[in-house]
A and B are shown apart, each in its own frame.
Chain A
Amino acid sequence: MAISKMKKLFLATLRQDEERLMAALSWAGCVEITPCGEAFAGFAPESRQKGIAEVSVQQKKLGDALLILDGVLPPDRGLFKRKERLAQALFDSPDKTVAEALTLADGVAAVAAQKEALLLKTAALRREIEGLAPWCVCEESADRMFTRRTELLLGTLPAACPLFRLTAALNGTSPETQDGANKPSDKFSQAKSGEDDNAPAAAPLAAEVLPLFCDKAKQYLMICVLREDRDECLSRLTPLGFVRADPLPADFSFPEGVPHSFSAAKDTLAAQLATAEAEAKACLDDLKGRANDRKILRQAADFLSTKFLRLKAADRLGGSEHTLFLTGWVPEKALGRLEKTLAPFDCAWETEDPAPADDVPVLLSNKKIFTPFESVVEMYSLPAYGSFDPTPIMSVFYFFIFGLMLGDVVYGLILSLACFVALKKLDLGRGARNLISLFGVCGISCMISGVIFSGYLGNLPGQIASSAAGSNFAMPGIDLLTQDGIFIFIFLSLGMGVLQILTAMGIKFYMLCRKGEVFAAVFDVGSWYVIFLGGALSVLLSGVGQTIGIAVLILGLAMKITTAGRAKKGIFGKITGGLLGLYDIVGYLSDLVSYMRIMALGLASAVIAYVVNILATLMISPGFSVGTLIGWILLPVILLAGHVINLALNLLGCFVHDGRLQYIEFFGRFFEDGGRPFAPLMPEANYHVIEREEESD
């Protein structure tokens, strides 16, 4: 139980061994390499920086290719899918796989780029076809819209502009004079009418307007004019909103043997579109057929991420052209493993104890039964190096409080079984493993308190017995939902609080003594013990015992008042400080009351289970009209849904509030946080589980 003792490691070896050494250390997984400091940092080979840059470029390339493939291939990863195994030896000679994967990645990127280009092309073709569609009525030769004297103008006019305005403009008359009293009332002509009144009448142009097509926004027109009138015609029509159109795409040319009409052009484009779409589909199919490539890419990606970490670690090494110098941290208990790892190398190494000023990393190492609870501590903060690891003591409290909050045999059984199966069947990281084992262990506690408080899916056995047979059967144990039951539960909750607070004070006492501050330990913490002891005696006992209790209480109070203000200056400061020290009693009381949440959560889970049972057994009660058979079918459905929801809700509540009790009420009294987690050089694999030749603990 404790924070692992760390040793400072100094190691000198030959530079030619660098790669081998990094590989060996990463498999050993017990050395955190630190920057070796000014004194030894004389030599930094350029090739290493280049290597790091190269590997990250390769990683990026593989990552991009994997992203593309993951987009088209069916997903084959997930919580419930086992990862593939990959032998350790492969990680040390990855070059061949990596080279192959890089080629494959290039191929994937090329096909994907081609696919993108084709998709862009199809989109452009679709737009062109759409633009061409209104002109298909025009049967003229699309690329020869003129004769010697005349020219055909294609163009569009806003749909709101009536055609007669167009013809009027061409004839050089204003529409009002043409239409006489029948003045058009649409806003388009009103807006224009002001100018027209002042404009002098122009000479009529010889022009023919042929409307081709009309949609909601535009009218598509063909206007036949004399060549010399063309510019004049356009200058008269542009104010009306006429825009010349060139329906054929810029780079379009008619294939041979095809009539040069707009509809033929449209058909040609449609054929091109079909080809492009087919090609894009072929690219997609090509990508979809690369499931095997993805496997190789993933292997290479895992090799590279391990290589990258090794290079990064090697970057912290010092030395000269031919020698290598390494500084780092190694847990004392891993020294044996380190020795074995380093045996094949020509190297000199030594360890020493950390100096007080060193930034020592923190690794918690506890007995196996307590390791799941380390995650609870880590979620708060690691303890500072040299302080106290509360994991084992906290585990005991966490375990029992969790059970009290969710006291039910069946819930506990489900929890433990589910977690056990998950641990066996899923590939989980260290954090997830710890958390799941935590729930699994706490499931046992739920079962224990379930037996005490007769929780078997709430009161299900009794409820079924009374609904189906009308009997008064009840499982043995204390019924929580009675006056007696609730008081026992409150007593247990507060008792847990008293125990834990006293334990926290004890740890504080121990830590102060270890630091040599015995005086502070006795007067700051010990005096509270005396006060509590005296208080308890005087309340619980009678007669002589009570008198002794009161005496002890007074002694404790006196200790507190006389010493709590000892750091203050002046007699006045010391007295007020002493009295203020007593004020902490409020803190103890509020912390104690906080433990009532155990009762609140326990009650909540029991009551909801009770409600679910009432609803479910309503189905089989004789007074209910569903019928016996259907009732017995509905019963498990309601039970399942209700209890799953209850379990999920209360698991969250227990996890949060049990943790909170530890963090605030327990840790708050003694915990020194701010430990830096130990980060040894380790192999890293995202897609695979590494099959180790020799398991490290």
Chain B
Amino acid sequence: MKKKVILILSLVLALVVLAALPSFAAAEEETASLTLWDFFYNGTTLSLIGAFFAVALSGIGSAKGVGIAGQTAAGVVAEDPSLGGKFIALEALPATQGIYGFVAGFLVMIKNGVIAGNADLSVADGMYYLFACLPIGVVGLISAIHQGKVAAAGMQMVAKQKDQFGKAITYAAVVETYAILALLISALLIFLH
């Protein structure tokens, strides 16, 4: 997991460096012609890369978290089918991170003008959005996986103690706090720009 995060962060850093390069180039030769370079390294594209990080990372996390919880649910429900309905709620808990990432990604699309059809951002603005998306992306990825594990453990608890469902849900929901805080910061950063 740590390796993945480091990989993601270094990817972002590389993008920053690459994005800074054209400004050096522009200082040397002041030509206005649009190159392939400009096509990739402009504000709109950078902000969309940010939206990609928000949606993709938290989506991966949610998929993994729901997957973990779903496997346990299938195992426990095989023993006691009456728990099936309750476990859908527990299984779906880690799905919210993916939604938060989606929300952040979509807010970027509203703000950078892609939806309105007048997207024209400076590289600095694009970079701003890219970084604004990182909190929910990274935190969503990791918190969803851990929430999935807690939800799975909660299912095993409910299998033994049927009346403890409320607590199982609460334990899993506590993990989500940090994804919510991350979404808060991401959303505020996007809105405030």
Taking Cβ atoms with an 8 Å cutoff, the residues of A that contact B are: 378-381, 481, 483, 486, 593-594, 596-597, 599-600, 603-604, 607-608, 610-611, 614, 649, 652-653, 655-657, 659-660, 663-664
Q: Does B92 have its Cβ within 8 Å of any Cβ on chain A?
A: yes
- B95, B174, B183, B191: the one within 8 Å of A600 (CB): B183
- Measured CB to CB, the closest approach of chain B to A375, in angstroms, equals 10
Tell me if A's interface is mostly helix, strand, loop or mixed.
Answer: helix
Known: A596-B180, A596-B181. A379 touches B165 (CB 8 A): yes
Known: A379-B166, A604-B103. A599 touches B174 (CB 8 A): no
Q: Does B192 have its Cβ within 8 Å of any Cβ on chain A?
A: yes
Interface set, chain B 148-173, CB cutoff 8 A to A: 165-167, 169-170, 173
Known: A656-B169, A660-B174. A486 touches B187 (CB 8 A): yes
Chain A residues near B107 (CB-CB < 8 A): 481, 607
By the criterion CB–CB under 8 Å, are A600 and B180 in contact? yes
- B89, B115, B170: the one within 8 Å of A380 (CB): B170
Chain B residues near A652 (CB-CB < 8 A): 89, 92
Known: A483-B192, A596-B180, A652-B92. A604 touches B170 (CB 8 A): no
- Measured CB to CB, the closest approach of chain B to A590, in angstroms, equals 8
Q: How far is the CA of A486 from the CA of B99 in the complex (A)?
A: 18
Q: How far is the CA of A652 from the CA of B86 in the complex (A)?
A: 11
Chain A residues near B191 (CB-CB < 8 A): 483, 486
Q: How far is the CA of A481 from the CA of B116 in the complex (A)?
A: 14
Q: Does B131 have its Cβ within 8 Å of any Cβ on chain A?
A: no
Q: Does B184 have its Cβ within 8 Å of any Cβ on chain A?
A: yes
By the criterion CB–CB under 8 Å, are B180 and A608 in contact? no
Chain A residues near B106 (CB-CB < 8 A): 607, 610-611
By the criterion CB–CB under 8 Å, are B170 and A659 in contact? yes
Q: How far is the CA of A622 from the CA of B96 in the complex (A)?
A: 35
By the criterion CB–CB under 8 Å, are A607 and B103 in contact? yes
Q: How far is the CA of A649 from the CA of B95 in the complex (A)?
A: 9
Chain B residues near A655 (CB-CB < 8 A): 89
- A378, A380, A597: the one within 8 Å of B167 (CB): A380
Count, chain B residues at interface, CB 8 A: 30
- B96, B166, B184: the one within 8 Å of A596 (CB): B184
By the criterion CB–CB under 8 Å, are A594 and B177 in contact? yes
By the criterion CB–CB under 8 Å, are B96 and A604 in contact? yes
Q: Does B41 have its Cβ within 8 Å of any Cβ on chain A?
A: no
Q: How far is the CA of A379 from the CA of B103 in the complex (A)?
A: 30
Could you list some 14 contacts between A and B, CB below 8 A? A380-B166, A380-B167, A481-B107, A486-B187, A600-B103, A604-B96, A604-B99, A604-B103, A610-B106, A649-B92, A652-B89, A655-B89, A660-B174, A664-B170
Q: Does B110 have its Cβ within 8 Å of any Cβ on chain A?
A: yes
By the criterion CB–CB under 8 Å, are B115 and A614 in contact? yes
Chain B residues near A659 (CB-CB < 8 A): 166, 169-170, 173
- B89, B103, B169: the one within 8 Å of A603 (CB): B103
By the criterion CB–CB under 8 Å, are B174 and A664 in contact? yes
Chain A residues near B103 (CB-CB < 8 A): 600, 603-604, 607-608
Considering the complex of A and B, which 5 residue pairs feature the smallest CB-CB distances, nearest first? A379-B166, A660-B173, A597-B180, A600-B180, A607-B103
Chain A residues near B53 (CB-CB < 8 A): none
Q: Does B52 have its Cβ within 8 Å of any Cβ on chain A?
A: no
Q: Does B129 have its Cβ within 8 Å of any Cβ on chain A?
A: no
Chain B residues near A610 (CB-CB < 8 A): 106
Q: Does B93 have its Cβ within 8 Å of any Cβ on chain A?
A: yes
Q: How far is the CA of A485 from the CA of B173 in the complex (A)?
A: 27
Chain B residues near A663 (CB-CB < 8 A): 166, 170
Chain A residues near B87 (CB-CB < 8 A): none
- Measured CB to CB, the closest approach of chain A to B62, in angstroms, equals 12
With CB as the reference atom, state the residue of chain B lying closest to A648: B92
Q: How far is the CA of A620 from the CA of B106 in the complex (A)?
A: 22
Chain A residues near B100 (CB-CB < 8 A): 600, 604
Chain B residues near A593 (CB-CB < 8 A): 181
By the criterion CB–CB under 8 Å, are A656 and B89 in contact? yes
